[in-house]
Amino acid sequence: MNDAHTLKQLEDIFRNILNIIVRFAGVAAFIMIIIGGFQYLTAGGDPKKAESAKNTITYAVLGLVLLIIGWFILKFISEFTGIPKILEFEIPVSQ
């Protein structure tokens, strides 16, 4: 049996980890928006609690926007340079 690991497996592992991180970031931002909204609704007129809730929502939306902007920057670089595989992780193999 040949149990040697290849670079292709490393590419797959990196791709899976990156997909998990991006999805987790999106879910985390969504949850933080919900938490901030709940905090704002239950602030009861307390300006400090309301400000804290607004900050939570603002930072969650900002994080989501930065994630999307990062993806668009990579997409723009891909289109501008004509390299369609810039969004794919591959380790070049010399022959």
Query: Is 14:89 a contact under the CB 8 Å cutoff?
Result: yes
Question: What local confidence, expressed as pLDDT, does residue 14 receive?
Answer: 81
Question: What local confidence, expressed as pLDDT, does residue 82 receive?
Answer: 81
Chunked mean pLDDT (size 10), the chain, 95 residues: 64 83 91 95 92 95 92 86 74 66
Question: What local confidence, expressed as pLDDT, does residue 48 receive?
Answer: 95
The model carries a pTM of: 0.71
